[in-house]
Structure 1
């Protein structure tokens, strides 16, 4: 999963772990997760140095995490590295992050709410 890692981003550790969870997931469980989520998330994160990196969580077709933008995301999210980590750790509510402007969402906003469940589910499998 080293192709997902991005130097200077704490987010890349979380997404690399998530990719590992997807890789180890039995095919039937992965299909179930894809059916339940049915979306492609594009996440653009800005770190403390102002550098940006983009990852894609595909839970519509393949059930995998990749680096770099995709042509047709269902939802695009822009946030800081620290905000993503707080969301992943469950220390920050996605709705609150959105309302305060810490999380910007384009596209299917309701789909964005499913990412929280995906992150929590992956954390439970660790």
Structure 2
């Protein structure tokens, strides 16, 4: 697993490290196909409800087909803001993005329609795990 991407105190750290590892297992053609289908940069801002700390990760499905810790460079197409637990539930399929958004558990900045493509990115990565 990728330790350079983990942030202590966040349950999502292991999931995001798993995503990074899954992306590294894509062949060039798989990566290009996923990027062509998605064509966006997602910045994910998660908050730990106990400590109130915030951590940020970026999934770049526009230029590099990679996952990294930190703010999007140069700029995200959509920023997803939620609690750490909500992201865990999204990845594990316990809640879908639309329900999370409608109940106020997920907030977005930027291209909200692009946010709907994140589910496909997560499912594509899970197939490599």
Please tell me the TM-score bracket, short chain as reference. Answer: over 0.9
Distance (Å, rounded) in 2 between the aligned partners of 1:85 and 1:3:
19
Partner of 1:62 in structure 2?
64
CA distance in 2, matches of 1:14, 1:120: 12
Give the paired residue count.
Answer: 126
Q: Which runs of 5+ in 2 are unaligned?
A: none
Report how far residue 12 of structure 1 moved.
1.2
Query: 1:111 & 1:16 partners in 2: Cα distance?
Result: 22
Q: How far did 1:125 drift?
A: 2.1
Residue 32 (structure 1) aligned with residue 47 (structure 2): no
SS at match of 2:3: coil
Q: Spell out structure 1 runs of 4+ moving beyond 4 A.
A: none
Number of the residue aligned with 1:117: 120
- Unaligned 5+ segments in structure 1 are none
1:51 aligns with: 53
2:87 counterpart (65, 84, 102): 84
Measured against aligned partners, the alpha-carbon deviations of 1:75-103 in whole angstroms (never above 9, x if no partner) come to 00100000000000011010010011100
Task: Please report how far the alpha carbon of residue 124 of structure 1 lies from its aligned counterpart in structure 2 after TM superposition.
Answer: 2.2
C-alpha separation in 1, matches of 2:103 and 2:66 = 30
Per-residue CA shift, 1:87-125, capped at 9, x if unaligned? 000110100100111000011111101111111221222
CA deviation digits over 1:39-73, x for unaligned, max 9?
00000000132110000000000000011112310
- Over aligned residue pairs, what C-alpha RMSD do you find? 0.9
